[in-house]
Amino acid sequence: MPKLYIALATYNGEKYLPQMLDSLLQQTKLADKVIAVDDGSTDGTVAILESYKDRLPLDIHPQKENRGHRAAFGLCLEFVQKEAAPNDYIALADQDDIWLPKKLEILGKNIGNADLIFGDAELINATGEKIADSWRTCGKILPHLPTKALLTGFTNVTGCLTLFKTSLLQRVLPFPDGIPVHDQWITFCASIGNGCISTPEKVVKYRIHENNSIGLGERYRWSDRVKLNLKWIQTIMRSKVFQDLRPEEKAFAVEYEHYISSRFIKNFQMKAIPWAWKNRAALYPQCSSFKALLSRALFAAVGVKFAQRFLERT
């Protein structure tokens, strides 16, 4: 019988952590182990974790220094990998969310042969009041993205909504330095394996508040997003998983890296227009109207410096 692990990263989370841990206790399918890595908290977070050890199968690993969200989850998954079997399952937990009671049951029943499954979430505010029925609707999240779209930096998955197979850690770990967030990398690795699937069922109450490490309201300037996408594709091309891509995906990755790099060098690259139109499904997956697609394909020819100076793109 496969075991179920929960990977929980905490940092100064005493305000919401008890609600999170209580929701783990209320699951209709209980976890076999909860591995918690505390990222150098200076409040009562570790004490709260310790107080739940008689109710939850907690394995707590306090760290002396704060290394950040991504590093904490990476270490957490390394601890899971040391003891879990390839056919076991992992769920990621954020300290400030509340899991709906059937989360693990729903995801476990529906994952099938896929490497990863993700559900939807209700959105709540800092005080726990519901502010939206669907994270997927509010964020205009697509239930599926092709691998080529993931190569360009798009992601449709938030880690707290997922369940994935432990065997995926062979690809996932260690996290490369150039990835922006851990769940984007995990999703990409799953997509080139046995794939990602989604369920429309809500599995979490996702809390939006001013101290979110990563939240729905996160926004980048346009130029920063282009830089981030360049770093992302270059990280993938240097990684061990690049060889696992299909030939057409490798070719697209090389072309995309060249295209993004050129935007920082040239004011215009007219050849980018037909290339962008040909690859519009990967470059603009959330765009459906012909007019909007054409506008984006034309803008693909414009370099970053020109766009900043003359088109008011920051």
What is the location of CATH 3.90.550.10 in the chain?
4-207
d(CA 155, CA 259): 20
Contacts of 3 (CB under 8 A, 6+ apart): 32, 33, 84, 85, 88, 89
* pTM score, whole prediction: 0.94
> For the structural domain made of 4-207, what CATH number should be given?
3.90.550.10
d(CA 111, CA 97): 22
pLDDT band at 219 (very low <50, low <70, confident <90, very high): low
pLDDT tens, position by position, 255-285: 999 999 999 999 999 999 999 999 999 999 9
Closest CA to 272 of 282, 262, 287: 262
Closest CA to 189 of 210, 164, 206, 214: 164
d(CA 82, CA 122): 33
Tell me the pLDDT of the chain averaged across its residues: 95
Burial class of residue 251 (count of CB atoms within 10 Å of its CB; 0-12, 13-18, 19+): exposed
pLDDT tens, position by position, 162-216: 999 999 999 999 999 989 999 999 999 999 999 999 999 999 999 997 766 455 5
The continuous run of DSSP H or E covering 235 comes out as helix 222-238
